[in-house]
Amino acid sequence: DAGVIQSPRHEVTEMGQEVTLRCKPISGHDYLFWYRQTMMRGLELLIYFNNNVPIDDSGMPEDRFSAKMPNASFSTLKIQPSEPRDSAVYFCASSLEGTGHNQPQHFGDGTRLSIL
């Protein structure tokens, strides 16, 4: 079975440019999560969706960040304009609804973003 697929794997761009990260969750999963990982702050939840609807975006750093999930098989995380402090690894994860608390989140391989 295909896992969570993220693209691109690596992105290097200049400050001020728009960056779009893409994610295809595991088919049938109800939840989709976007995380950011840095050495300083560890793994941070940015936003998550349930059945394509954004539920909690309180982790989004600022208005430069936006995320969409137009359908059950695709999500984007956009940064516009990008800044050097946005450099990090961005993970997408998906999970089933499950009963209570027993469903793991399955992660993509991440996008390593470098803003020069």
Which residues sit at the interface with other proteins, rule CB under 8 A? 31, 42-43, 45, 48, 50, 55-56, 89, 91, 93, 95, 97-98, 100-110, 112
Task: Answer for the pair 76, 23: CB distance below 8 angstroms, yes or no.
Answer: yes
Sequence-distant (≥ 6) Cβ neighbours of residue 52 within 8 angstroms: 69, 70, 71, 72
Q: How far is the CB of 43 from other proteins (least distance, A)?
A: 5
CB of 88 to other proteins, least distance (A): 12
Considering the complex, state which of residue 72 and residue 89 has its C-beta at the smaller distance from other proteins. Answer: 89
Residue 74 or 107 with smaller CB distance to other proteins: 107
Is the N-terminal amide bond of 104 cis, ω within 30° of 0?
A: no
Cβ of residue 68: shortest distance to other proteins, in angstroms?
18
Q: Which is nearer to other proteins, 50 or 114 (CB)?
A: 50
